[in-house]
Amino acid sequence: MSTLKLPRAIRLDPSDTFVFRRAAEPGEWLVPGSFLFPPERVAELDPKGRVAFRSGFLGVASFGWSTLAVVTEATAEEREQAVEQLATQFLAKLGAPDRAAAHAAAQEEIAFAASLCDHPPQTLLALHRTVEEGEIRERFRTLMPRGEQPPDAFRAFDFLEVEGEDEPHEHVDLMQLMRSAPR
């Protein structure tokens, strides 16, 4: 039997708290959240909305955004709680017609999020969204730990190997980001 895994919000630096209108809380379950962006309305987004569109995973509990997700083992009960939380959000914030429709949509979103977690626990996930030919396209990338580490070790600077579609490589100086972050 395979282990159930879901993406959780992780915050390696404080940037999510100022690039998004609302940041997801570290540790909350995530879904990609593309359903919040009608392709024909993306051009109308404000700067924080564009950042959420381009690179945000949606927090199930907060409806806040996270730049990174971490693959995490989950129990069947945790998965069902995530489905219920998301269904409640669909009813309250998106006007789902009834609980059954909200629950079905939430199950589908959580299943898709789980399908992204076919990686070892502690693998980081990132996404990049674009609108191409009138449709949203999502590209997911993984950052995997290099070498053996204890199961509770998680140091951002050990994540060096990148897997994903061929795209231009971006250079991010995490040390500089940490030094320049507001305290």
- Angle value at C-alpha 114, between 15 and 105, nearest 5 degrees: 95
Residue 57 and residue 127 in contact, taking contact as beta carbons nearer than 8 Å: yes
pTM score? 0.79
- 161 vs 121: CA distance, rounded Å: 15
Q: What is the pLDDT of residue 54?
A: 97
Residue 166 in this model has a pLDDT that exceeds 50? no
Nearest to residue 151, comparing CAs of 111, 116, 108, 120? 120
Residue 110 bridge partners (DSSP): none
Model confidence over 14-35: pLDDT tens digits?
999 999 999 999 999 999 999 9
Q: What is the pLDDT of residue 2?
A: 58
Of the pLDDT bands very low, low, confident and very high (cuts 50, 70, 90), residue 3 is confident
Residue 126 bridge partners (DSSP): 141
Place of tokens 């629950």: 103
DSSP letters, 23-72, are BPPTT-BEE--GGG--GGGGGG--HHHHHHHHHPEEETTT--EESEEEEE
Model confidence over 89-142: pLDDT tens digits?
999 999 999 999 999 999 999 999 999 999 999 999 999 999 999 999 999 999
Model confidence over 135-157: pLDDT tens digits?
999 999 998 666 555 444 444 44
Model confidence over 58-88: pLDDT tens digits?
999 999 999 999 999 999 999 999 999 999 9
Residue 74 and residue 62 in contact, taking contact as beta carbons nearer than 8 Å: no
Domain extent for 151: 5-180
Instruction: Determine how β-strand 124-132 pairs with β-strand 68-73.
Output: antiparallel
Nearest to residue 12, comparing CAs of 90, 69, 79, 81? 69
Q: Based on the structure, what is the number of domains in the chain?
A: 1
